Chains A and B, each alone.
Chain A
Amino acid sequence: MTDSGRPILSVQDLVVYRGKGVHQGNSTVGKDALRVVEGVSFEAAAGETLGIVGESGCGKTTLVHAVLRLIPYQSGQVIFEDVDLGGVSERKLRSLRRDLQVVFQDPYSSLHPRKLIGKILSEPLELHTDLSAKARERAVISLLNDVGLGASFAQRFPRECSGGQRQRVAIARALALRPKLVILDEPVSALDVSIRAQIIELLAQLQRDRGLTYLFISHDLALMRSFCQRLAVMYLGRVVEYGPSDVILHRPSHPYTRSLLASMPIPDPEVERRRNRIEVRGEIPSIRTPPSGCTFHPRCNYAVDRCQVSEPMLEVSDAGVLSRCFFSSEVAAQPPLDDARSSDAPPEPVVEEHLFERS
């Protein structure tokens, strides 16, 4: 694991309930409340990008909201720069939030439609700093330049901008208070394919220039492999695999990660034709009725009786990552994307090997 810096954000055994009877500042919940995040732990080192991947209902949005303390959490810790966010006052929290910003998926709904972009960008400065009006104006122009838009955009409304431009504005707003950590919640999913790479390049540039730490939420594993140093794979509120992204996405140690990888189509018809498919059975169960034992067992090709009754712990696999699976070593030992049991065509080991080999 990367030990390049001390963790700027450390989440330990976080448990979050949602629904009826869940109130801020109250650790007890009603009996109808749902346990949406179930003992999640991870760390993000200063300057690195930690990816969180999972499908709908895996709890990643709730996790983000809890880390930002927009919603309460019931147990565990969120430690940001050595301060436990759970114990701080609203007042202290406000100042901490300057260092902790977020960019949402949809730049069409995250920007006020009737405010000039100049106003949108200077508002955080008005609220959190004592800069003069002149100084704020200069700061706004410099922000606009930093995100590649230019000063003229200060006089435009969001509706006069394309999706890509709006997302640049949302990024500029997140950076206005010079935060240390930025949560990127699917920041390119709503954009056209040709614009996505532009925004990713911008985010990478800003990270280099400002030493930012990113918490990057996405379902695009190919993007995560190149953009994130560390990865947490979530399924039904739990982290099922955690470690360096290039290891996890090359040699996954959890059957769910393997199915995600096998499900991602590759933009190359020749490769797609040769690929062996792992059939992923069924759908994600409801968090209201989570399966017993390992919650992935009803969909898992490796599941045995034991998986229905006892839940595996996160343990180090042979690939050197944490995996919540009794068979993590067997999974890690599989050749990349080759699963003979579910493939009707005979496996082509040579082709499959090269498929996920590092170039």
Chain B
Amino acid sequence: MSGAETSVRPASTALPEPAPDPVVEVADLEVDFAVRGAIGHAVRGVSFQIRSGEAVGLVGESGSGKTVTALSLLRLLPDRTTRVRARSLRVAGVDVLGASAASLARLRGGAAGVVFQDPLRALTPTRRVGSQIVEVIERHSGRSRTQARLEAVELLSRVGIPDARNRARDYPHQFSGGQRQRILLATAVASHPRLLIADEPTTALDVTTQSQILDLLLDLQQDLKMAVLLISHDLGVIARVCDRVLVMYGGRLVETGSTSDVFRAPGHPYTAGLLRSIPRLDRPGAVTSAIPGEAVDGFTQVVGCAFVPRCSLAAPVCTECPELEDVTPGHQAACWRSELVT
């Protein structure tokens, strides 16, 4: 994809520096899954790159393939029921589809950390939180136990757990939801990963807590120069955190670009419709309007553009599937009629 050639960092930080290798490189990702004998297509040809230090948002409805795409990056989908294919699937230099079990294990929780929505399920309930972080540090850095313990306490304190030295000895259930998400972030970054995948990390949290966790996520990203892939249904969260955004619909990427470009002048009718359907605090009285109809799932046979049944701009040409094309440099949309999108 050519979108990655354009710098999307804010102007103030755009120093002339050699472009680092992309941390994530995905080309033509296809994910099929089997449920009760039927074959579904969760991801139908997705390509993108994420460079180090870049925060990329992944947006889409349930069933759009966003979580499946993210899980594929680390081969976290069950092998028995899913089939992942790609022309290229590289994360932190590892060829994910060709990698041995051992190098996949090193990648997961090593060069790539993961944070999920529900920290209570992601943390081991019967182990002290400190030792869960120590384990990550030992495994991926080869530090001594003593050194790793010191680092774990430092890290807990870094993510905002007060009295970290004592609290490291507590179990996950002894923390509040917000604190557990902080601890999970600490576990995810303990190996100094090059990529952090965060799947709806704040969806289960209250708004004031969400705000704190997003600030922490941004701080950690800056400190560690990580690439971040943030999956969220909340366009406000994406606007706040991400430099660039990928919009998925029906298993395909339908729009990509800098968050500023995509949110200000969307090139796909789905993105435009989403933005129009959300009431905004700063625009009281502005009229919102819903997108009619329902999203397709992976079992629906789609001919052409999957958004056609809900699209007010649909035309005969839309029976052919549009590819991503430049709307402006670095901003692409998969729509035959993107110049008509308002």
Contacts and interface: CB of A to CB of B under 8 A. Distances in A.
Interface of A: 55-56, 162-165, 192-198, 200-201, 219-223, 225-227, 246, 249-250, 259-273, 277, 280, 283-284, 355-356, 358-359
A192 B295 contact: yes
A265 B292 CA distance: 25
Interface in B272-304: 273-275, 277-286, 288-292, 294-295
Given A223-B279, A269-B239, A272-B239, A197 B210 contact: no
Contacts of A194: 61, 270, 273-274, 277, 290-291, 295
Contacts of A220: 279
Interface of B: 10, 61-62, 176-179, 206-212, 214-215, 233-240, 242, 259-260, 263-264, 270, 273-275, 277-286, 288-292, 294-295
A195 B294 contact: yes
A280 B240 CA distance: 17
B289 A263 contact: no
B211 A280 contact: yes
A149 to B, nearest CB: 12
Q: Interface centre among B237, B239, B291, by most A CB within 10 Å?
A: B239
A46 B1 CA distance: 57
B176 A197 contact: no
A164 B294 contact: yes
A265 B290 contact: no
Contact of B282 (A165, A260, A355): A355
A192 B277 CA distance: 11
Contacts of A268: 239, 263-264, 280, 282
Contacts of A201: 290
Given A192-B61, A221-B281, A263-B207, A270 B260 contact: yes
A261 B207 CA distance: 9
Given A193-B233, A264-B236, A283-B209, A222 B214 contact: no
Contacts of B207: 55, 219, 260, 263-264
A140 to B, nearest CB: 22
B277 A222 contact: no
In terms of DSSP, what is the predominant structure of the interface of chain A?
helix
Given A193-B233, A269-B260, A272-B236, 6 more contacts: A198-B291, A222-B281, A260-B207, A264-B236, A268-B280, A358-B285
B294 A197 contact: no
Nearest to B203: A189
A221 to B, nearest CB: 6
Contacts of B61: 192-195
B239 A225 contact: no
A80 to B, nearest CB: 30
Contact of A55 (B10, B208, B278): B208
B214 A359 contact: no
A195 B282 CA distance: 22
Given A192-B62, A267-B278, A356-B282, A197 B290 contact: yes
Q: Interface centre among B179, B235, B270, B286, by most A CB within 10 Å?
A: B235
B293 to A, nearest CB: 9
A265 B214 contact: yes
B208 A259 contact: yes
A163 B214 CA distance: 28
A359 B208 contact: no
A193 B249 CA distance: 13
Contacts of A264: 207, 236, 281
A222 B279 contact: yes
Contacts of B290: 194-198, 200-201
B284 A359 contact: yes
A265 B237 contact: yes
30 contacts: A55-B209, A56-B177, A162-B294, A165-B294, A192-B62, A193-B234, A193-B278, A194-B290, A197-B288, A197-B290, A221-B281, A222-B280, A225-B281, A226-B279, A226-B288, A246-B284, A264-B281, A265-B234, A265-B239, A266-B282, A267-B234, A268-B282, A280-B208, A280-B211, A283-B176, A283-B178, A283-B179, A284-B208, A356-B282, A359-B283
B179 A261 contact: no
B230 to A, nearest CB: 12
Contacts of A270: 260, 263-264
B278 A272 contact: no
Contacts of B280: 222, 266-268
A307 to B, nearest CB: 18
A163 B234 CA distance: 18
A226 B237 contact: no
A280 B285 CA distance: 28
Contacts of B288: 197, 226
Contact of A250 (B176, B206, B284, B295): B284
Nearest to B286: A359
A221 B207 CA distance: 10
A280 B212 contact: yes
B222 to A, nearest CB: 14
Given A198-B290, A225-B279, A358 B237 contact: no
B308 to A, nearest CB: 15
3 cross-chain pairs, A with B, having the tightest CB-CB distances, nearest first: A265-B236, A197-B290, A55-B206
A222 B278 contact: yes
B340 to A, nearest CB: 20
Nearest to A195: B294
Contacts of A267: 234-236, 238-239, 263, 275, 278, 280
Given A55-B208, A280-B211, A192 B233 contact: yes
B67 to A, nearest CB: 13
B286 to A, nearest CB: 7
Contact of A358 (B209, B264, B279, B284): B284
B281 A356 contact: yes
A266 B208 CA distance: 14
Nearest to A163: B62
A48 B260 CA distance: 38
